[in-house]
Structure formats: C-alpha cells, structure tokens
Amino acid sequence: MIVRLLALLSTLCLAACAAESTTVEKKAGFVLRPDTQVIYIAPFRTVMVPAPVADPLFDTFVDELNLRGEQSPENSYSFVILKKIPAEIDGGQLARHHYLTGELYGFLEDSGGGSTTIQIQARLQLFQPGNEDSTLTIHDSDLLYFDHDQAALPEKRQEIAQRVAHRLADSLWQALMDR
C-alpha cells in the first residue's frame, strides 16, 4: 500500500513538473511573416503513436492554423496538407515553397490499477525557400495523469492530442508573427 502511494505521489510530482513544455528555436535564415499565401504541411510522421491520438492532433493543428490565417486579414495564410511525404516530392519544387514537417514520438501509456499516465513528444520543423535545413524547430512534450474513476482513456487521449495541437499551432503562429 505504501509503495503504491509513493508511486502515485511520484507520478503526480512528475506530472506537475513536466506536464507540458514547448521550446521554439529560430535558426539562421528564418523569415518572419513570410511573403507567401500558402504554407504546406506534410503529414506528420508517427512512431508508435496510436491513431486515436495522432489523427486528431494533426487535424486540430491544421484547423487551428487555418482559423488563425482566416481571422488575421493582414497576415492571411492558408495551410495546405501535402498528399505525399516530402521524400516523395520533387526536391526542387518543394524547395521553392514554405512547408512544415512534424513528428509525433515518445508516446507512452502507463496504466496501473486505477490510474493512467499518458506521455507524448512532438517536433515541428519549418522549411523556407533558400534554406536546405529547417529554419524553425518547435519541440513540445506533454504528460497527462488521470484516475480511471474520473475519466476514460479515449477522452484523455483526445485531450492530450488537443493540448499538443493547440500549443504547436500557437507556437508556430507566434514565431511567424514575432509575438
């Protein structure tokens, strides 16, 4: 009983300390407020992330960016999903455009007798014309702890997907608009 209590307390402390973390790294060649109307988004690569998390995360991310683009007339951008991964597209053609790639990884669901911890990490990279490497990298990690008596796994998977998607969209938008 004491061991379970200590495990629960350490998990709660871990959740409180590392619940969410986002870092934004602007690199050489990064251009604020790109002079383009369209920014392309490649489908996110996932490493062992279940579809009930990965799919709504990607969809919400794209929807959030397009909503911001529509609501900001002075900076109207459209975010268009590429139908292929960048490796399948002519490199010369893609290099002339602004485009995003993303990865979802480090996913872990740790369930005990009455609780579950969900953990996920995400990386977003912006590529801009004239640069071979990404000019902006955003890292995000999230940790969610819940008691089975209070919520169900599908509900919490949706919640963590929404949280990460909104933070990624917000971080990207702020970086592009220099806010």
Q: Within a domain: residue 1?
A: no
- For the packed helices 51-71 and 153-177, what is the interaxial angle rounded to 10 degrees? 40
Distance from C-alpha of 17 to C-alpha of 96, rounded to nearest angstrom: 41
Residue 92 has pLDDT above 50, yes or no: yes
Radius of gyration of the chain, Cα coordinates, nearest whole angstrom: 18
Strands (E), 1-98: 20-26, 38-41, 45-46, 78-81
Residue 13 has pLDDT above 60, yes or no: no
Report the number of distinct structural domains present in the chain: 1
Q: Within a domain: residue 3?
A: no
Give the domain CATH number at 30. 3.40.50
For 56-89, the pLDDT digits (tens) are: 999 999 999 999 988 876 667 889 999 877 777 7
Domain that holds residue 86: 22-104+124-139+152-177
For 129-158, the pLDDT digits (tens) are: 989 899 999 999 999 999 989 999 999 999
Residue type, 142: D
Confidence of residue 25 (pLDDT cuts 50, 70, 90): very high
Report the candidate in 157, 135, 128 with the shortest Cα–Cα distance to residue 144.
Answer: 157
Global pTM reads 0.84
Distance from C-alpha of 11 to C-alpha of 105, rounded to nearest angstrom: 20
Say what the pLDDT of residue 15 is.
45
